Amino acid sequence: MSFPVYESTLLSFVKEAKKTSFMDRNYRYIYTRNRIQTHEDERKMIQNAGIKEWDLLCGILSKYVLGGQTKGTYWSEAVKEQIFYQVIKKMCDIIEFWDKPIGV
């Protein structure tokens, strides 16, 4: 039986992500509710997400972080399809937009 070997940066990211409040163990419900079935669907949802869709971004991130613990290909998929990058980038964009002082 072969075991996949992951880069330490990826493993460190996954370990830190698991500690955050962004993890949603009910991510399957988010996928069902939003009819997300493919990577393209995920990318479209990420691209169109705003502050109101924060739970959607957490759900997508959770699928790959938590799901990767049992299905080894999830972490590789998330890197290859740039899901981790896109979700984190969108979260940063949302925070930067909404974290401005009043009156600016």
pLDDT tens, residue by residue, 21-53? 999 999 999 999 999 999 999 999 999 999 999
Quick check: is 59 in a domain?
yes
Residue 104 has pLDDT above 60, yes or no: no
What is the per-residue DSSP string for 33-56?
HTT--SHHHHHHHHHH--GGGHHH
* pTM, entire model: 0.89
Quick check: is 35 in a domain?
yes
What is the per-residue DSSP string for 17-30?
HHTSTT--TTHHHH
Q: What is the total count of domains within the chain?
A: 1
Higher per-residue pLDDT: 59 or 70 = 59
What is the domain extent for residue 90? 8-98
Quick check: is 44 in a domain?
yes
What is the distance between the alpha carbons of residues 33 and 26, in angstroms, rounded to a whole number?
11
Quick check: is 3 in a domain?
no
Residue 18 has pLDDT above 70, yes or no: yes
Q: Distance of CA 25 to CAs 55, 58, 63, 99, Å?
A: 12, 10, 8, 27
* Span 1-24, average pLDDT: 86
Quick check: is 1 in a domain?
no
Residue 45 burial class via C-beta count within 10 angstroms: exposed 0-12, middle 13-18, buried 19 and up: buried
For the chain, give the mean pLDDT: 92
* Span 60-67, average pLDDT: 96
Q: What confidence score (pLDDT) does residue 72 get?
A: 78
Higher per-residue pLDDT: 15 or 5 = 15
